[in-house]
């Protein structure tokens, strides 16, 4: 069983990544254990807790996982800047790490595959643009779900597992560079674990 330790900014990242990782584990026939370390309080808390975890690894206080996944929105800071902040913390420890940084927000990833959206809600969604406005994609996700006749109770994030399960990962990756980066990295890791 491969241990994956995850540091995520919030519940939306947790739901999306849990669905994606479990889907890939099933597709590659690899057993995984997901160990969640942070699912609230935003980017700063993710980086702080990640640094503490890595210090504990260096001191031998925690077992070395097979993979660390760090997820935080780019939040208009840009993908490159967020990746720089994360790798500045992780490059000191020899642990395989994947940075899952939606640019600009995680809700956009749930909107990039209209066919998957349609299979879940019976109606597709408009392809999201790529603008940096706070809460833009949360509203787009809620509006798209409501237009299908469904009322989201948790901002639509409660459907992340269904949407990810229905996604054509190649189509979704082609629609969003930040998602492509994560899918390609994870596929490579799962393929290596399989062999």
Return the axis-axis angle of helices 11-28 and 177-194, rounded to nearest 10°.
40
- Of 47, 94, 97, which is closest to residue 75 (Cα–Cα)? 47
The full set of domain ranges for the chain reads 2-194
Q: Looking at per-residue confidence, does 40 or 126 come out higher? A: 126
Q: Please give the pLDDT value at position 39.
A: 61
Q: What is the pTM of this model?
A: 0.94
**Per-residue pLDDT averaged across 137-159, rounded?**
96
For residue 87, name the pLDDT band (cuts at 50, 70, 90): confident
Query: What is the bridge-based pairing of β-strands 67-71 and 97-100?
Result: parallel
Tell me if 68 sits within 8 A of 60, measured CB to CB: no
Most confident of 36-40, 41-45, 49-53, 167-171: 167-171
The average confidence (pLDDT) of the chain is 92
């Amino acid at each position: 069983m491969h241990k994956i330790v995850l540091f995520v900014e919030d519940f939306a990242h947790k739901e999306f990544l849990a669905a994606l990782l479990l889907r890939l584990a099933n597709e590659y026939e690899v057993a995984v254990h997901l160990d969640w370390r942070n699912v609230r309080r935003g980017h700063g808390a993710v980086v702080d807790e990640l640094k503490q975890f890595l210090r504990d690894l260096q001191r031998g206080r925690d077992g070395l996982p097979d993979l660390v996944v760090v997820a935080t929105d780019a939040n208009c800071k840009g993908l490159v800047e967020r990746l720089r902040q994360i790798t500045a913390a992780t490059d000191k420890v020899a642990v395989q790490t994947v940075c899952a940084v939606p640019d600009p927000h995680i809700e956009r990833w749930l909107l990039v595959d209209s066919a998957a959206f349609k299979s879940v809600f019976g109606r597709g969604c408009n392809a999201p643009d790529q603008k940096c406005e706070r809460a833009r994609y949360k509203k787009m996700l809620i509006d798209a779900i409501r237009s299908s006749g469904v009322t989201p109770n948790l901002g639509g994030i409660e459907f992340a597992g269904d949407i990810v399960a229905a996604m054509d990962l190649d189509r979704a990756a082609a629609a969003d560079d930040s998602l492509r980066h994560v899918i390609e990295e994870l596929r490579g890791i799962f393929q290596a674990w399989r062999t």
